[in-house]
Each structure stands twice: as C-alpha cells, then as structure tokens.
Structure 1
Amino acid sequence: MKRRSIVMKLFLITSGLFIVTFLLFFLGQSLFLERFYINKKINNVQNAFETFVTSYEKSNQSPDALRKLQQIFYERTNAQIVLLDRNGVVRDKSYYDMVVQDATTGQTFQIPLNNVLTADAYSAFMRLQAEAGADVLVQGIRKGTMVIPIFIQTNTNTWTNESVVDSLRFFGIKLADLGSLPSSQSLLVTVRGTITQLHLPTKTDVQFANNVDMLIQGIQHWELSVRFGESDPSELTTYLMEDDNGVKNQIFVKPIMHNGQATEFAFAMTSLQPVNEAMGVLKSYYLYALLIAFAVIILLSFYYSKIISKPLLEMSEVTRKMAGFDFSEKLAATSNDEIGSLSESINTLSVNLKDRIDKLRVANEKLKQDVERERQLERTRKEFISGVSHELKTPLSVIRSFAEGIQDGVGQNTDYYTEVILEEVEKIDTLIVDMLELAKLESGTYKLDMTAFPIGALLRQVYSRLLFGAEEKELQVQLEIDDSLLVEANRNRVDQVIVNLLSNAIRYAPAGQQLIVSAAADGHLVKISIWNSGEPIPLESLDKIWDRFYRIDASRSRHTGGTGLGLSIVKNILELHGAPYGVENKNGGVEFYFFLRQAEI
C-alpha cells in the first residue's frame, strides 16, 4: 500500500478543521446571531429604559431634567423615549389641542392633538381648514372631558386617525361596534359643536421622523390594551409592533411613580430593522467571505503543514541515515518547543551511537587482530613442527647411521665419522636457531625499535665480516655505496637482512665472477641491492623463493650450506619495516633489492 505523505495528511486535516470550523461559525451566525443580537439589543434598551425611569422618578421632573435624561437614553440606545400624562397625551414643551363646545349639551371637550399631529397626519389635518368658530364633528375615545380623536369632520373635509383604527383592528374590534358595548366598557363618543380654541404647531414644529409616528401608534395600541385588560398599567410592559413596511419595533412602557401613584407613563421604542439589514448584508458577505476564506485556509494549511512537517521529515532523513550507520548529519534545533527538544535528543543519540559504534569497531578490529594473531601463531607452530620434523629427519638419519657404524666398528677411520656427526649437529643447531627466529618474526607480536643510521657504514661492516668467503671464491666485488645516506630502521634486523642476502650472493655466485653491492637514494627512499652473476632463477620460482624450506633444485640444496629459511626471515623482517623488496634476473645474474625510508638529516 502506498503511504501518504505526512505533509498531505497535515494539509488535509488542517484544511478540514478550518473549513468545518468556518462552516459551523457561519451556520451559527446564520441561525442564532439574529436572535442573539435582537435579545441583546432589547435587553440593553430595557435596562437603559428602566434606568431612565428610576432616574426620572428621583429627579425634580423638570423639563430640563427630562431633556437631559432623554439625551442620555438616546446616546446609549439610539432609541426614542416620550412621556404620557395620565390622560394618555404625549408630554411635550408645547401642548397642541382643540376645544369644542357641544351644541346639544353645551359641555366643553378637549381634543388633544400631540399624539396625532405627526408627519402625514399633520398634512391631512390641515385639509380640514379648522379654525375658531367653525362647526366640527368629533368622534373618539372619551376620557372624562378629553376625547382622543378617531374622526374629525368639518364642512370642508374629513380626517381619520389611522393609527387608532389599526390598533382597534389588532384587537379584532370594528369601529361600529364601539358604540354598542356595555356602558361599563363604552369607549366611543360623538361631539357636535363649535371650535372655541385651536392651538396647532407650525410646520417646523411637526415631528417628521417616522419612528415617532410608530411610537405614537404604539402608545395608542397600549392604551387600547389597557382598556381591554390585556396590559397592567402599573408594571413594565413590552410588545412587538410591525409597521406598514414590515419593520419590527420593540415597545417599552412603564409608569412613572410619584407618592405611590402613577403620574406619567414612559414610552420607548427601538427599531429592529438594523438587525434584519445587518443579517442580510452578512449573508451576502459570507458568500464572498467563504471563497476568500477557503483560499486563505488552503494557503495557511499548506504553509502550516510545511512548517510542522519540515523538522519531522528532517528527523526521518537523519534517523534513516543513522540506521545506515551514517552519523554525519545533525538536526538544527532552532525552536524551544518539543520538536526542538526532540531534535537535540536525536543529535545526542547520534553522537552517543557514533561513539559506541566507533569503540565497538575498534574493539572488533582488535579482536580480529587477536584472532588472526592466534591463527598465525597456530600456523607458525604447525609449520615449525612440520618444518623441523622434515629438516631434522635427514641429519638425524646421517647421525644415526654414522653412530651405528662407529658402534659396529665399521671402518678404521673413526675421526671421519665423528667429523660428519659434528657437522650434522651444527646444521641442526643452525636450523633450530633459524626456525626459532622465524617463528618469532611471524608471531605478530614482535615490535621493531626504529633508529636513524648510515646504511653505507652497515653495508661495509657486513661485507668485511663475509670478506673471507668472497676472497675464497675469488669474486670481483664492487661497492657502489653513498656513505652520506641515512635510513630509519631497526639496525640489527637490517644487518640480519644484509647478511642473509650477501651470504646467498657469495654462496651462489660462480668462482671468479662479479658481485655488486649498492646503496642509492630513490626519492624519499633508499634502494639497497645485491647483484651476483650466475644462473638466473626460473620465473616460476621467483615468488616462491621467499617461502620457508623452498629450494629451486639440487644445486641449491643443503650441500650449499643453507637451511632454506634465510629468505623467509628476510621477507618477514622487511615486511615488519613496511619496506618494498624483490628479486630479478638481471644482466646475466640475479639481483635482490629492498627499500628503506630515508631519515631526515
């Protein structure tokens, strides 16, 4: 199964969470914000309204105090508030009314106009062309000597208070039914008479704001609800009204108490239209916001996924290399959070693992060397025993034969037999010494002490020791030596090498032939060579002559005086020095050579 990238996983999870959160937020606003906002606004206005009533009750109830409290209320709620007197007439700095004397009874009735002379009502009322002394018919709701007008008719025109009519319809009452109610509930009264007084506002005094019209309608609606017992005039009353445009308005009514009695009534109204408009705008806005938010969410999620996953991917790469024993990479711990702490822990783990593995590698290498050394010792022991057994077999046989001959009295010349026996014993002694020397060199435990010495002087000393053999064979010896050369090596072991090589050269060189010993600089090395004339070494034997007990043919057998271990000893000494060496058939003879490191002067 194909594994999904952690970047993609984080991207999908983050994008999904953001989108789901955004959609839930959007649905929450669409379903609950409007209701929440309305309740919040109503509660704020209601609290401010009750504060207004309480403050007004505690004031001197002067016009200045009223205006100040109304201003505070408006600043807090952006809503209108008015006061009604006990007759339900709006309290204002100017009082507008009309006084009519009934032609039948002669009784005088006051017709208040503060509640009705608003924007549209004022224009319609002016068409009545009412004036003092004119005949008039007024039909309305009676409150003692006050009549709240529903119809006013003059000889010119008729005016209807539509707000009262609408309120009556709200309660399911037809205007024609008002006069047929029982006397205890009779509301409608008709007054026919003459206008005795008329106090009207000018156009500049008229309240043109539509919200005031709605407030006055709310007042009339409340008055009717009190009449029909649906509202308690002594308690705070709230209700919702809707105007002709479908805009909802919340109405608040509460009595102003003075000496335990309600002397006035406070009315406040707040429009809920801004809420509806705001919600409509929000819904339209969210269509665009959703597209923008979706794009931003994709970008932020991708960026966030990269930020979170980048150190994790780096950790994965570093730990993958650590699994392959590559501890070269380190994590950059740039943060102080859990990821930074984890990066530091991985770095510490990498350092500790590398240290432990290096120690294990060293220990393992040492163990391998120890095992190899043990194997080498075992091989050396086996080869030593095998070589000794083979090489001692012949001289021991000779010694036994000659000893038995002496014992049996064979021949009269016992000195000859004794001489042969002593010669073979000497050969056995030389063989054993060489075998022990070779075993020590091959053990892997032998260490060389290096010193700087002149190689030319050593060559001349060795030649002087072997001069008798060269003179005995009348060899023509040439010493081509640079006496200024210094080498860094173990002098005793190099002496042993030169003795073996020079002895072999003297031994195998034909009598009266040439022998050349040379030492010359070769870069940072010094080449030492010993050449002797004579038969060349067969090619197949050039690499084998360094093996122990290897002999080329019968001419190079024990009759020449060697043990077959000299070149093997030379090889081991030179390998301990790390010195290159070799043998070549060259210029009608054989050249043995080796290189030593030149010492600094």
Structure 2
Amino acid sequence: MKKRSIVLKLFLLTTGLFTITFLLFFVGQSLFLEKFYIKKKTHSVQQAFETFVEEYSKSDQSFDVVKRLKQRFYDQTNAQLILLDRNGVIKDENYYYMEIQGTNEKRLSYIPLNNILSGEEYSSFMKLGLQDNEQIYVKGIRKKDLVIPISISSSHGIWTNDNIVDDLKTYGIRWEDVQKNSSNRSLITLLEGTVTKQHLPSKADLQIVNNIDVIIQGVQRWELSVLLGETNPSVLTSYTFGDEKKGLNQMFVKPVLQKGEVVEFAFAMTSLQPVNEAMLVLKDYYVYAFIIVFIVIILLSFYYSKMIAKPLIKMNQVTKRLANFDFSEKLPYSSEDEIGSLSASINTLSVNLKDRIEQLHVANTKLQEDVERERRLERTRKEFISGVSHELKTPLSVIRSFAEGIKDGVSKNNDYYTDVILEETDKMNTLIVEMLELAKLESGTYKLQMEAFSIDSLLQQVCTKMAFGIEKKHLHVQILTEPNILVLANRNRIEQVIVNLLNNAIQYTPAGEKITVSVLVQESTVQVSIKNTGEPIPEESLDKIWDRFYRLDASRSRHTGGSGLGLSIVKNILELHGALYGVRNEEDGVVFYFTLSKFEKDSV
C-alpha cells in the first residue's frame, strides 16, 4: 500500500473542508440571500408604514405634523409615501385638477391631475394646450363627480394615460375595446364637455411631480384593482408591480380610519431594484472572491497541516529512536494542550525506560560476572582438586610404602623409615595449611587490618629468621633501603609475602651467589624488589607462575620446590592490598617486585 504523509492528508482534508464550507456559503447566498433581504426589507417597511398610519390617524394632520411623520418614515426606510383622499386623489399641498361642464349631463365633473401629471405623461398632457371654455372629450373611470381620465381629446390632439392602459391590459381589458366603447361600459365612461376651470402645475413644480412617477403607477394599479373588485380597500394590502428590467417595487396600502370610517388611503413604496443589482454584483464578485479565497485556503491549509503535523512527525522520529534504545533526543514542547502533554509523556517514558534498561544492564552485567565467577570457581575447584590429589598422592604413597616396610621388617633401621614418614607428614600438613590459607584469601570475605610500620625493619627481621637457609647455601643477601620508611598495610600478610618471595629466591639461587633486596621510595608508594641471580624464567611461564600448583619443571619433582601455592598466596595478598606486583628477567637473574602505599606522618 502506498504510504501517504500525514501533512498531505491534513492538507487535503482541511482544503476540502474549507472549500466545501465556502461553496455552501456561496450557494446559500445565491439561493436565499435575495429572498431573505427582500423579506427583511419589506417587513421593516411594513412595520414603519403601519406605525406612520397609526400616528397619522391620531394626529391633527396639519402640514407640519404630516411633513415630520413623512420625513421620519423616509429616514427609517428610504421609501416613498403618499396619501390619497377617499376619492383616490393624491393629497398634496397643491391640488391640481380640471373642472368640466358636461354637455349632456347638467353637472360639473372634476378630473384630478395629481395622479397623472408625472414624467412623460405630464409633457404630453401639456402639449394639448387646453384653455378655458374649450370643448374636450374624456374617456375615463367615473367615481361620483370625479373622472380618472384614460384619454383626453381636444382640437389640438389626443392624450392617453399609458399607465392605466397598461394596467387595463393586466386585467384583460384591451385599449381597442375601450376606444370602441365595446367593453366594460359599466367601468369606462365617456364625458363630453367644456373646460370651465383648471389648476395646472408650473414648470417649477415639475421636479416634485417627477419624483413620484413610479408610486403614481402603483396607485393607479391599486385603484383599478379596487374598481374591478379584486382588492378590498378597507384592509392592509401589499403587492409587487413593475418588471425585472425596469425594476420591481413593493407597494403597501392601508386605509386611514377616523371614527371607524375610511377617510384617506396611505401608500408606501420601496424599490426592490437595488437588491437585484446587488445580487448581480455579488455573483460577479464571488467569481474573484472564490479564486482569492481558494488561494488563501490552500496557504492556510498548508500552514495548518505543517503546524499540526510537525510535532507528530517529531514524535515519530523520537519513538523510532526509542525503539532502537536511543534515548539521547527529547521532544521540545511549549503548549499545554494534548500534543504538549503527549510530548511530555514520551519524554518521561524515555527517561524511565532508559533508567530501567540501565538497571537491567547493570543487573545483567552483575549476573554475567556472577556466572563467570561461578565458572572460574568451578574451574578453580577442579584444578584445586586435581592439584591436591597430585600433591597428596606422592607423600601418601611414600608413607604407605615405608609403613609396609616397617611392618614387614624389611630393615632393622626403623629410625630412617620413621623420619621419612614424619617428613612426609610435615609436608602434607604444610600443604593443607597453605591450601586453607589460599582458600581464605580467595573467599572474597577476608578483610585486612591496615597499620603503619617500617618496611626496612620488617625486611631485616625476615632475613634474620631465614638466616639458616641463607647460610646453608652460602648466599650473600644485600638489603638496599633507607631507615624508617613507613608503609600502610597489614604487617603479618606483607611478612608472609616477603618470606615466600625470599624463600623462592633462596631456592632458585645457585650456592655462593647473591640476593639483593631493595626499597625504592616514590611519591605516594614504596616499591620492594627481591632479585636473585641464576637462570631466568621462560617467557611463556612469567604469567603462569602465579597460578596455584604451577612449577617450572613439568615433572613437579618433590625435590625442586614446595607445594606450588606460595606465589599464588603472594598474588592474593597483594591484590587484597591493591598493590602492583610482577616478575621480570634480567641479564643475571630474576626480579620479583611489589608496591605498597606510603604512609605520611602529617596525614594522621
């Protein structure tokens, strides 16, 4: 299976999560933001509109009060607001109208102009050039004495209210049928008469009129739906008009009640076009935003992946070293989170594991040493038994043969046989004593009692004790030393060492030759050397002579030496003192030497 880095896995995971989150956010805004914004905006406008109507109906409806309420409504919603009287005529500080004296009807009819004089309709209407007492024809919607004009004809031309025509088409009433008077005669009326009076806005008022073009279209739409019976004018009404190209608008209409009767109508309109434009801009913006955000996501994901994976990779490296018993590296950590806690735990594990392994290593080394010591002891035991068997076999054979000779009466001189038996018995006794001495020294439990003594005095005493052997071979012993040289050691054991070495020198020195005993004082030690003239020791035997039962002659003749334990005892005594010792050949003989610790009087 292909191995993937945790950095790559975290990078892909975080990039995917961030990208999916952003896409969901983008799709959510594309699908629901526009609807949510429209709902939110219409709801806020409706609440402000209902508050305006309630406060307006309770006020004295003076010009200043109405202006203040309208301004506050505009500040809150940025929406337009107008008022219509119960006949559907826009209430303004200026009331624009025409008065017509009917030809067939002997009554005055009023044509309100506030609702229609807006934008292009105003310009085309002014081109009629209507004058007082001029004959005109009006097709429109009658409401008692009021006629909302659909078209006005005069000798100068025809003016058509295009907004109402469009609304009629919305309700399935064709303008051609209206011209032929063939449709909805109950709705459409024909008025023929003479202009008796008119109040038109001046050019200075044109800007004010143009500001309410769109809301007037909505008012006319509502009036037509009321006349057709599709809208109840006594309740709050909300509807959308316009198109997506020119812009959608949301209209709110609510009656103004006084004493339970409808006296006016309030209209509020807010444009939805900015929402559509904003959504189009957002869609274009999201294309660039997605590219930028995607790049940022990649960078952040990479940084996040490295930041999270870096301590994990380091942990992996350290744990691999732990698996190979390498405890030299520790994990750095500074945070107090789970990763920091895990790093601390791994460091603690490393320290504890190192300690346990070191303890096991020490125990294992000790165990190996114990096993090796047991092996050496077993080997020594076998060698010891073998050596003892060989050493005891000869004297026992001699004793047995001489005892049998005495029993059988081979010789009448029994004193000779008895002396031999006693001599061999003494040798066996000496051997047994030396073997016990050696066993005690090698037991590892023997403790030396140290004391300060004069080494030169000890040498003199030993030489005096061994004067018989020295004189027997006519040897000359020379002691080279300074007086009062103090050493720190066990006096009895060092005396045993000197006796063995001097006895060895006497044994191997030819008769009439010289033995030299010298003491060399060094900084912290004193070296004692015993040199005898004679044949040198073979090089291959220099290291073996310290072994028990080892003799230079392979035959181990009883007449060439002692038991073979003397030098082994010397070695063990000197090792218990921690002394350096050895043997070397020189041109005219052999030198045995050892060192002892020098005793300083000032240190006491």
Above 0.5 in TM-score? yes
Secondary structure of 2:507 counterpart: helix
**Structure 2 equivalent of residue 537 of structure 1:** 537
Shift of 1:236: 2.1
Q: Deviations over 1:52-108 (max 9, x none)?
A: 333333333333333223222222222112221111112222222222222443422
Shift of 1:366: 3.8
Give, in whole Å, the separation in 2 of the partners of 1:325 and 1:581: 42
Amino acid at match of 1:381: R
Conserved? CA contact 2:102–2:191, under 8 Å = no
Amino acid at match of 1:172: G
**Structure 2 equivalent of residue 436 of structure 1:** 436
**Structure 1 equivalent of residue 349 of structure 2:** 349
The answer to whether 1:200 aligns with 2:201 is yes
Q: Deviations over 1:385-427 (max 9, x none)?
A: 2221111000111111112222222223222222211211111
Secondary structure of 2:520 counterpart: strand
The residue correspondences of 1:267-286 to structure 2 (distance < 5 A) are: 267-286=267-286
Distance change in 2, residues 1:536/1:143 (3 Å): same
Shift of 1:508: 0.9
**Structure 1 equivalent of residue 28 of structure 2:** 28
**Structure 2 equivalent of residue 500 of structure 1:** 500
**Structure 2 equivalent of residue 546 of structure 1:** 546
Distance change in 2, residues 1:329/1:173 (3 Å): same
Shift of 1:141: 1.6
**Structure 2 equivalent of residue 241 of structure 1:** 241
**Structure 1 equivalent of residue 255 of structure 2:** 255
Shift of 1:295: 1.8
511-520 or 214-223, which deviates more: 511-520
The residue correspondences of 1:221-370 to structure 2 (distance < 5 A) are: 221-243=221-243, 245-370=245-370
Give, in whole Å, the separation in 1 of the partners of 2:399 and 2:210: 151
Give, in whole Å, the separation in 2 of the partners of 1:45 and 1:106: 46
Distance change in 2, residues 1:117/1:485 (3 Å): farther
263-272 or 129-138, which deviates more: 129-138
Distance change in 2, residues 1:326/1:238 (3 Å): same
Conserved? CA contact 1:214–1:243, under 8 Å = no
Distance change in 2, residues 1:138/1:380 (3 Å): same
**Structure 1 equivalent of residue 511 of structure 2:** 511
Percent of paired sites with the same residue: 61
Give, in whole Å, the separation in 1 of the partners of 2:80 and 2:455: 124
Q: Deviations over 1:580-599 (max 9, x none)?
A: 43322212211223445666
Distance change in 2, residues 1:46/1:483 (3 Å): farther
Q: Deviations over 1:132-158 (max 9, x none)?
A: 444433332211111112223343343
Give, in whole Å, the separation in 2 of the partners of 1:454 and 1:71: 127
Secondary structure of 1:347 counterpart: helix
The answer to whether 1:96 aligns with 2:102 is no
**Structure 2 equivalent of residue 477 of structure 1:** 477
Give, in whole Å, the separation in 1 of the partners of 2:349 and 2:516: 64
Q: TM-score, normalised by structure 1?
A: 0.90
Secondary structure of 1:192 counterpart: strand
Secondary structure of 2:419 counterpart: helix
77-86 or 369-378, which deviates more: 369-378
Amino acid at match of 2:515: L
Give, in whole Å, the separation in 1 of the partners of 2:190 and 2:573: 147
The residue correspondences of 1:130-209 to structure 2 (distance < 5 A) are: 130-178=130-178, 179-181=181-183, 185-204=186-205, 206-207=207-208
Give, in whole Å, the separation in 2 of the partners of 1:411 and 1:585: 48
Give, in whole Å, the separation in 1 of the partners of 2:80 and 2:27: 33
Aligned length: 599
Conserved? CA contact 1:584–1:590, under 8 Å = yes
Distance change in 2, residues 1:244/1:391 (3 Å): closer
Give, in whole Å, the separation in 1 of the partners of 2:40 and 2:324: 66
**Structure 2 equivalent of residue 42 of structure 1:** 42
Shift of 1:521: 5.2
Secondary structure of 1:559 counterpart: coil
Shift of 1:321: 3.1
27-36 or 194-203, which deviates more: 194-203
Conserved? CA contact 2:133–2:194, under 8 Å = no
The answer to whether 1:126 aligns with 2:123 is no
Secondary structure of 2:208 counterpart: coil
Amino acid at match of 1:187: I
Distance change in 2, residues 1:230/1:365 (3 Å): same
Secondary structure of 2:266 counterpart: strand
Secondary structure of 2:232 counterpart: coil
The residue correspondences of 1:72-87 to structure 2 (distance < 5 A) are: 72-87=72-87
Conserved? CA contact 1:377–1:442, under 8 Å = no
Conserved? CA contact 2:173–2:183, under 8 Å = no
Query: Unpaired segments of 5 or more residues in structure 2?
Result: none
Amino acid at match of 1:393: K
Amino acid at match of 2:338: E
Q: Deviations over 1:8-65 (max 9, x none)?
A: 2222211221112112212222222222222222222223223333333333333333
Shift of 1:525: 5.4
**Structure 2 equivalent of residue 213 of structure 1:** 213
Give, in whole Å, the separation in 2 of the partners of 1:72 and 1:488: 116
**Structure 2 equivalent of residue 405 of structure 1:** 405
**Structure 1 equivalent of residue 584 of structure 2:** 584
Secondary structure of 1:530 counterpart: strand
Query: Unpaired segments of 5 or more residues in structure 1?
Result: none
Conserved? CA contact 2:97–2:111, under 8 Å = yes
Amino acid at match of 1:83: L
RMSD of equivalent CA atoms: 2.9
Shift of 1:446: 4.3
Distance change in 2, residues 1:350/1:240 (3 Å): same
The residue correspondences of 1:556-567 to structure 2 (distance < 5 A) are: 557-567=557-567
Q: Deviations over 1:267-316 (max 9, x none)?
A: 12221222222222222222222222122112211221222222323333
Shift of 1:128: 2.5
Give, in whole Å, the separation in 1 of the partners of 2:229 and 2:599: 130
Shift of 1:539: 2.1
Conserved? CA contact 2:98–2:195, under 8 Å = no
The answer to whether 1:421 aligns with 2:421 is yes
Give, in whole Å, the separation in 1 of the partners of 2:379 and 2:366: 19
Distance change in 2, residues 1:195/1:587 (3 Å): farther
Conserved? CA contact 2:100–2:197, under 8 Å = yes
Secondary structure of 2:94 counterpart: coil
Give, in whole Å, the separation in 2 of the partners of 1:19 and 1:598: 87
504-513 or 95-104, which deviates more: 95-104
**Structure 1 equivalent of residue 113 of structure 2:** 113
Amino acid at match of 2:197: T
**Structure 1 equivalent of residue 388 of structure 2:** 388
109-118 or 432-441, which deviates more: 432-441
Conserved? CA contact 1:38–1:275, under 8 Å = yes
Give, in whole Å, the separation in 1 of the partners of 2:16 and 2:576: 73
Conserved? CA contact 1:502–1:530, under 8 Å = yes
Give, in whole Å, the separation in 1 of the partners of 2:136 and 2:488: 148
143-152 or 313-322, which deviates more: 313-322
Q: Deviations over 1:478-536 (max 9, x none)?
A: 33446676666555444433332232122211122232333435676554432221111
Give, in whole Å, the separation in 1 of the partners of 2:333 and 2:465: 74
The answer to whether 1:57 aligns with 2:57 is yes
Secondary structure of 2:136 counterpart: strand
